[in-house]
Structure 1
């Protein structure tokens, strides 16, 4: 009985090992704590500026920063002008190397 249990656990563990390794490796650019803090500071600065400029539409814009200072903007805005403003705000933030935008126009209802 114990042999069957040990064998079953060994098989399941072997099958799950690649999944565990992949999930542990998926965020390797943030493995160093200072890199993560730097990324978070840039993201927080951009979010604060966007909230001050457009408090209503900010809830629909997500900001993420990678270890190289590249900012990713995703989500929706009410107008093309708001999208342009969000991109400009991100570009003018200290520490930002480049900005990628996947923002789309979608009016709030």
Structure 2
């Protein structure tokens, strides 16, 4: 009986999400926009991981409405600028905010 109620509750929640276009971010971003931003974040992080200059583990990437925000600590100005360049040239990125600090 409990399982039936849980399944019905999940189905009702899914129906509400599909009908209303439920927002998933603090600024009422749509599900589609959230997925697009997550994809951009993943693309930028993948480019960081492949680049020999950028330390992907020391830098953070967040995306909101196509704007990528970079943060964290770089070992050099070259690493900071390379990270920004990689993010800017990633397909789908509208703009980049570079808050990376050089140590």
In the superposition, the TM-score normalised over structure 2's length comes to 0.71
Q: Which runs of 4+ in 1 moved over 6 A?
A: none
Corresponding residue for residue 94 of structure 1: 91
Give the distance between the partners of 2:38 and 2:54, measured in 1 at CA: 22
Structure 2, unaligned stretches of length 5 or more? Answer: 1-22
- TM-score (structure 1 length as normaliser): 0.67
Higher helix share: 1
Match of 1:65 in 2: 63
Query: 1:54 deviation in Å?
Result: 3.8
Aligned-pair CA distance for 1:55 = 7.7
RMSD of Structure 2 on Structure 1 (CA): 2.1
2:53 paired with 1:41: no
Shift of 1:58: 1.3
CA contact (8 A) 1:29 1:66 kept: no
Question: Between Structure 1 and Structure 2, whose CA radius of gyration is higher?
Answer: 1
Do structure 1's residue 105 and structure 2's residue 102 form an aligned pair?
Answer: yes
| Rounded Cα–Cα distance in structure 1 between residues aligned with 2:27 and 2:71 | 22
Number of residue equivalences:
81
Structure 1 residue 105 displacement after superposition: 1.2
Question: Is the counterpart of residue 85 in structure 1 residue 76 in structure 2?
Answer: no
| CA distance in structure 2 between the aligned counterparts of 1:52 and 1:78, rounded to whole angstroms | 17
